[in-house]
Amino acid sequence: MRSFITSTAVFLVCLQVFAVDSVIAGDANAGAAKAKPCTACHNSTIDLQGLGADAIAIQSKAIRDGKKPHPPGLAGLSDEDIADIAAYLNVLD
């Protein structure tokens, strides 16, 4: 339980630090096709709206690299794929 609280606190601090302006240069149009597997959960049951592309990309890379738990699906993504997906998910309404 302590590690969950600590992880949540760290995640929230990172969101505040990185949510100011996006420096991730992803292409939202390219990300639309790449994000189809993501949108089954994200922005419906798990809302990413307002987190910012940087925070989404940072968390996605941590998941891809095995540093955070997540259902399978991110292992084969490149940094460019993640940037594109993050840009697309960031603009979803």
Average pLDDT over residues 63-84: 88
| pTM for the structure as a whole | 0.66
Per-residue pLDDT tens digits for 43-72: 666 777 678 888 889 988 998 898 988 888
Per-residue pLDDT tens digits for 1-37: 676 676 665 665 555 544 444 456 788 888 888 888 8
Contacts of 60 (CB under 8 A, 6+ apart): 74, 77, 82, 85, 86
Identify the pLDDT of residue 83.
92
Rounded to an integer, what distance in angstroms lies between the CA atom of residue 63 and that of residue 44? 20
Identify the pLDDT of residue 15.
52
Instruction: List C-alpha distances in Å: 59 to 18, 31, 50, 83.
Output: 11, 16, 14, 11
Identify the pLDDT of residue 93.
53
Q: Could you give the count of Cα atoms lying within 13 Å of 5 in the half-sphere of its Cβ?
A: 2
Identify the pLDDT of residue 80.
93
